[in-house]
Amino acid sequence: MSEIEPGAMAAGSRAKPVPRSAGKLRVGLISAAWGAYAHLPAWRLLEDVEVVGICTSRRETAENAARQYHVERPFWDYRAMASDPDIDIIDCGTRPNWRRDMVLAALSAGKHVYNGIPFTESFESSRRLMEAWSGSGLVGGVDAFSEWFPAHRMLRELVQDGFLGRPFACNLSFHISLFNRPRRDFPYTWFQHAEHGCSALRNLGSHALHVLLSVFGEVESVVGYDARYLDEWKFDDGSTVEPEITDTATLLLRYANGMVGTVQPCWNVVAGGSGWTLEAYGSRGRLRVQAPPSFPAHNTTELFAGTADSTCLEPVQIPPRLRNLPGGASADTLTPPAAVPMAWSFHDLLRAVREGTSCRPDFAQAWKVERILEAARRSQHTRAWVDLVHVV
């Protein structure tokens, strides 16, 4: 099998632009849970787009969801949604191993796709998606919406403007508490089964790596360690399960720009964990992004900066152009919090569809993340650096 060149993805998959005169773009949403709760309000904020379909696994739930959320067309077969000629974009928001075939069906039917994170349940499935997408002329976006947080957008601008000088290192920790004492009705207990392709590294780590790639560029080599330390999830009703997945990982990265860095995702940290902390420094400055002990949000993630002449870091004021929603609306008008960066991500996907270009973040970046995760897996077995050029 030939290597899929990450650097050529966007050019090789240049979309055919949709003329403005074509009217509103139409979205089919797969998921009446998180998709309806967070994705739907983000889509509905935007002009020139309309959610016209919603899909679940059963007719009854699909028709109920369509009525509840005022969506025109219910679907209980994703293949039927993918083949609907009146739908332009498929938003896939279900479990990673289920999404693989949904994305393949959408691409085969000529639909643009917004796919969840983790990208798929395995490296092999990720390769299948990339082969289907590369050169298809379709836009493929991914749900790594943390890249669109105002603090991360400002961080990227400062790094690109040379604030750090020569970059030395970057360390990112993502420490939260999900499964130490979960509620019995916690909606993500299905993570426990290995078949779904979840873990702290694949879930939290994917979000972290997308941000790092968008800010600091290509990763060349990886060392990784991934393990399970919490062998039992004990629920608030006293019941327990034995998870099949890992919960704590550490990656050491070498970047193409010469920088080194670490990434440490963990979702079983007691006492709430420390949340999201990203710190980078170089010859001229230091930057730090901090969020409270939970999944970071657009309104709780802060940026701090200091130069070589400073004695401490100071808060960075982020301009309204990065804080407000597409069109200039206040981010305070949209709930839940995750819908705010999603709205920016959707906005960029729509722009890419209209113009025939690539969006941020896209399938090409997701493939880079999957190659890093696969390199970490191989490194754990070899106990050595793994060069990304060999991970294909």
Residue spans in the chain of domains classed CATH 3.30.360.10: 147-327
Question: 124: how many CB neighbours lie within 10 A of its CB?
Answer: 11
Give the CATH superfamily of 6-144+340-365.
NAD(P)-binding Rossmann-like Domain (3.40.50.720)
pLDDT in tens, 173-206: 999 999 988 999 999 999 999 999 999 999 999 9
Query: Please, what is the average pLDDT of the chain?
Result: 93
Assess whether pLDDT exceeds 80 at residue 28: yes
Helix pair 123-133, 96-108: axis angle to 10 deg? 20
Model pLDDT, residue 157: 98
Does position 122 have pLDDT exceeding 60, yes or no? yes
Secondary structure (3-state) at 14: coil
Q: C-alpha angle with apex 35: 33 to 38, nearest 5 degrees?
A: 105
pLDDT in tens, 130-189: 999 999 999 999 999 999 999 999 999 999 999 999 999 999 999 999 998 899 999 999
DSSP 193: S
pLDDT of 329: 81
Give residues with Cβ within 8 angstroms of 117, minimum separation 6: 142, 143, 144, 203, 206, 207, 210, 366
Cα separation, 28 vs 89, whole angstroms: 6
Q: Residue 53, by phi and psi: left (phi above 0), alpha (psi -120 to 50) or beta?
A: beta
Segment among 12-21, 68-77, 221-230, 259-268 with least mean pLDDT: 12-21
Task: State how far the alpha carbon of 361 is from the alpha carbons of 106, 207, 345, 358, in Å.
Answer: 19, 11, 8, 9
Cα distance between residue 279 and residue 167, in whole Å? 12
The CATH code of the domain at 147-327 is 3.30.360.10
Residue 8 has pLDDT above 80, yes or no: no
In angstroms, rounded to a whole number, what is the distance separating the alpha carbons of residues 43 and 196?
Answer: 27
Q: Is the predicted pLDDT of residue 275 greater than 80, yes or no?
A: yes
Q: Output the pTM of the full model.
A: 0.93
Instruction: Express each pLDDT in 286-328 by its tens digit.
Output: 999 999 888 899 999 999 999 999 889 999 999 999 998 888 8
Tokens describing residue 44:
């509905």
- Intervals of CATH 3.40.50.720 along the chain: 6-144+340-365
